[in-house]
Amino acid sequence: MKRGCRIASGRLLAGLLFLFLCLRLAGEEWLPESRGKVVRHTYYVLDFNDEHHQANWVYYEMSPERLVKRASRKDDFRTDPAVGEACATLADYRKSGYDRGHLCPAADMAFDERAMSETFYLSNMTPQTHACNAGIWSRLEAHVRERARKERLYVVTGPVFKDVHGAIGKNEVTVPGYFYKLFYSPSRQQMVAYVVPNKASRQTLASFAVPVDKVERITGIDFFPGLPDELERIVEADTFSHAGDPYITALLDAVAGKESGGNPAEEKVRRPKSGDNRTAAADKTAGTSSDSRRYVPSAREQVILVLSVLLLFGMWRIFVYRGKRAGKKSRSRSRRSPSRSRRK
């Protein structure tokens, strides 16, 4: 009996361990592809670009639970020891005329003292004009926080090294021409992306909304590669606004090669997968309503489902085994009782 229980318990524990590992992997599968050095901090991950002395992207998770303010802003700007000498310094920004613009906003990490402090690593900064930092970029950050008060979001943000405004400081930190911010909502199966210029703008946020696949063309980065291919094609090609700011539209056209009649080299930035006509899919789904899309469970939801099945299966096996053992004991006792009565 004890041996059987140990075997059943071992199977259950093995199943739980397997699911724990799957959950750990599922929590990291939304990371964009790396083009530099991946640096992990407590609540966000960045991909550092040594050439430009700043991150290619910063990835983090937002949820209603994380938007409870428990920490105060200390403004403890400092170099990132995990990056090393390639990291920008305070001297690079001093008297440069540019703000130290957060990629992962400090306000998004106000739920924890350490989380808040780590946003002030200079690896999480990018040179922004004050008009951009305090204007359209601040409005965009507030908008994403407002969305995250209602649902869990996976956010990626970073610079666009097109139409750069030179460099600052001894380390020659590149001043990006644009910035992007995009997020994925598993509950709505929706991706929303924005590209804003590094300057003042009075345009509405909606005018800066672009399809995610176009941001991938601009940056050469594959965002959310862990999503199922079919779902990725749909959500990356869709956006709620196609009007566009004229500066952003010109940037997208230039990168797509429309002004020069097409550039084969630029088409290789994001190669379609085998048997997949990505451009055709984008054209076909650009006007698709989110209400008409088939719901596809996220990887995390699928893992939780597997965890539940394994737990139920393990418990069922234990109950069945105990039932069989109880039945055998009952039968053995019933067989022994007649012999005892005969002896009497």
pLDDT digits (tens, 9 = 90+) for 248-275: 556 555 655 543 444 433 333 333 333 3
Token pair of 313 as six digits? 């299966």
pLDDT in tens, the chain (344 residues): 556 555 655 665 566 565 555 554 444 458 999 999 999 999 999 999 999 999 999 999 999 999 999 999 999 999 999 999 999 999 999 999 999 999 999 999 999 999 999 999 999 999 999 999 999 999 999 999 999 999 999 999 999 999 999 999 999 999 999 999 999 998 888 899 999 999 999 999 999 999 998 999 999 999 988 877 666 666 655 555 434 455 555 655 565 554 344 443 333 333 333 333 333 333 333 333 333 333 445 455 566 777 778 788 877 777 777 777 676 666 666 666 655 545 54
User: Rounded to an integer, what distance in angstroms lies between the CA atom of residue 144 and that of residue 66?
Assistant: 13
pLDDT of residue 316: 78
Q: Where are the domains of the chain?
A: 1-30+300-344, 31-296
pTM for this prediction: 0.67
Give the closest residue to 41 by CA, choosing from 101, 109, 134: 109
CATH number of this structure's domain 31-296: 3.40.570.10
Distance CA 117, CA 187 (A): 30
Residue 130 is a catalytic residue: no
Active-site residue, selected from the candidate residues 41, 52, 53, 102? 102
CA dihedral (230, 304, 222, 53) in degrees, to 10, reads 170
Spatial separation of the C-alpha atoms in residues 92 and 86, rounded to whole Å: 12
Work out whether strand 54-62 and strand 153-160 pair parallel, antiparallel, or are unpaired.
antiparallel
Residue owning tokens 């924005």: 194
Q: Cα separation of 123 and 72, whole Å?
A: 21
Parallel/antiparallel/unpaired status of strands 190-197 and 167-168: unpaired
Mean of all residue pLDDT scores within the chain:
78
Q: From CA 222, how far away is CA 84, in angstroms rounded?
A: 26
| 159-174 residue pLDDT tens | 999 999 999 999 999 9
